[in-house]
Amino acid sequence: MYLITKKEELTENIYWMDVCAPRVAKSAKPGQFLIVKAGEKGERIPLTICDYDKEQGTVSIVFQTLGDSTKKIAALNEGEYLHDFVGPLGNPSELVFEDPEELRKKKILFVAGGVGTAPVYPQIKFLHDLGVDVDVVLGTKSKTTLILEDKMKGACTNLYVCTDDGSYGFKGMVTDRVKALVENEGKTYDLCVAIGPMIMMKFVSKLTKELGIHTIVSLNPIMVDGTGMCGACRVTIDGKVKFACVDGPEFDGHLIDFDEAMRRQAMYKTVEGKKAILQEN
């Protein structure tokens, strides 16, 4: 059982939780995820690690309530317990393995969409601690749905917020802002890391391919059980079959068949589609 030491509603239906899990905190790295279960019979939910404190032995998760299982997690309060908190799982971000000296020479751009801001945060914090400069383009629907702005500001060189409705920052898509940074404001980048909805990662990857910027995306959004068993996260990368939860979650955005991945994601939402995917595996 894992004690919830802090719970905060960041915006409507998006929650931050600190959970006491010293062993997970000790080995957690940016880019990895956890399997969380509210109760003994609860559904297994894969959630990316948003932060960790090795001294305190706590791990932070940020999640959106989209179905019954995430609502059950959100119903728990400080002082209560999560039944399962298994991890860290998946491969850490490739940035973790790079030589810090080499990283400091690179110009890195992160693009975060909606609740995808949460998995971006530990990566930029990790780079910030190494003295690496990063720019972040953060997209959200409106000012009221923006999360973690102060934390992001504190860990990056420049934060560019975009809102769909123009209520804060730049009005428009993250891709428009990235294009403007490169084409109008003279920015150059060696690497882009994009994490957010599949459709956003698809179009960011399309743009960065045109701009010649190597791009990494995280396929967390298509994971269901996070164990390599359900088949929901099967993707084709450069013509080869991979599973996001086992082989990823990060992949080269220019090599992913996004249309196929999004079709499977949509299929998994229906009972028939789920059966077809399970039979296929």
* Annotated binding residues for [2Fe-2S] cluster: 230, 233, 245
Nearer to ligand FES (CB atom), residue 63 or residue 243: 243
Residue 120 interacts with ligand FES (CB under 6 A): yes or no = no
Residue 138's identity, in one-letter code, is: L
Q: Which stretch binds ligand FES (CB under 6 A): 23-31, 55-63, 154-162, 217-225?
A: 217-225
Residue 226 interacts with ligand FES (CB under 6 A): yes or no = yes
d(CA 75, CA 63): 12
State the number of binding residues for ligand FES (CB under 6 A). Answer: 13
Sequence ranges of the binding site: 62-64, 230, 233, 245
Residues with Cβ within 8 Å of 84's Cβ and at least 6 positions away in sequence, in order, are 2, 35, 36, 37, 42, 44
Residue 10 interacts with ligand FES (CB under 6 A): yes or no = no
Considering only 45, 111, 155, 230, the residue that binds ligand FES (CB under 6 A) is 230
Nearer to ligand FES (CB atom), residue 173 or residue 219: 219
Considering only 57, 172, 228, 273, the residue that binds ligand FES (CB under 6 A) is 228
Residue 245 interacts with ligand FES (CB under 6 A): yes or no = yes
Residue 35 interacts with ligand FES (CB under 6 A): yes or no = no
Considering only 43, 225, 252, 257, the residue that binds ligand FES (CB under 6 A) is 225
Considering only 243, 251, 258, 268, the residue that binds ligand FES (CB under 6 A) is 243
Shortest Å, Cβ 247 to ligand FES: 9
| Contact residues for ligand FES, defined by CB under 6 A | 223-226, 228-233, 243-245
